[in-house]
Amino acid sequence: MPESTARTEGYLVDRDSPVSSDSGTRLRDRVRQELLARIAAGEWRPGERVAPEAELARDLGVSRPTLREALEGLQDNGYLRRIRGQGTFITYRRNLRNNLDRNCGVSELIRSMGSTPGTEDLRVYMVLADDSEADQLSVPPGTPLQVVERVRTADGRPVVLSRDLLPASILPREVTEAVERIGQGSLYRLLESFGLPIGHGVASISPLLSDREISARLRIPKSTLLVYLLQVDFDRSGRPILLSHEHHVADAFEFNIYRSGQG
């Protein structure tokens, strides 16, 4: 292989090729995911110092600025801690599952655990917003809502039952058609591809015991402990565009918040 190229797991990077800002961002994100996968796989233990930047950049086949951006992203999300004059250290623990300070989809969450995401029992249909849904989505009661229900799996095991609702009035016809074929794809990415990127989300979390229907769909005993996440996602203008109900099997996940400094 020529010296100007280097192969990492799953992709080739040409160090000498000009890179656009978009491709540079994608490269940074791929490097970040590669590092996150190595951390999740236990390649580095909590408290262990990672390899020096020059060595790690050479290993991944990227420039040091690209690597540094990826490391900064992991540091912001609580996976790494940098100590001046000493290096970069792992703060991630194997039982850390979902960083609640970061808005991510279920598939990305499952991949971050080192598992393979899948989808079962996909249901796409329309409903009319009840008073609670209308209030959370800032639409009149009776507004048509596009609903996507899916059972999400990790290595074949059902771990999340999700129910996502979007006001049909904000969705171009192409989005509605794409939603009907979404499978295990990301709603976040789908919305972004049609010019409706998510700006931020507000979530509430509570414990819940599974009822008969949820138990059957997740293939768990009735009254199994779940973590119920209710979230409203807003576009960049602050308009609510997505209401999500997620029922997580409690023993499949741990939820953590990275908190820095003194309150």
Q: Is the pLDDT of residue 131 over 80?
A: yes
Lowest mean pLDDT among 15-24, 64-73, 134-143: 15-24
Residues of the chain with CATH 3.40.1410.10: 98-256
Quick one: average pLDDT of 188-208? Answer: 88
Residues of the chain with CATH 1.10.10.10: 5-90
Per CATH, domain 5-90 is 3.40.630.30: no
Would you state the pLDDT for residue 22?
A: 53
Give backbone dihedrals phi and psi of 89, rounded to 5 degrees, phi first.
Answer: -120, 150
Q: Are strands 240-249 and 157-167 parallel, antiparallel or unpaired?
A: antiparallel
Q: Is the pTM of this model over 0.85?
A: no
Query: Is 39 buried (19+), middle (13-18) or exposed (0-12) by CB count in 10 A?
Result: buried
Which of 166, 174, 182, 130 is CA-nearest to residue 244?
166
Distance (Å, whole) CA 3 – CA 28: 21
Lowest mean pLDDT among 57-61, 179-183, 226-230: 179-183
What band does 160 get if pLDDT is binned at 50, 70 and 90? Answer: very high
The CATH class, in words, for 98-256 is alpha beta
Q: What is the pLDDT of residues 41-73, one digit of tens each?
A: 777 776 788 888 899 999 999 999 999 998 888
Would you state the pLDDT for residue 11?
A: 38
Would you state the pLDDT for residue 260?
A: 56
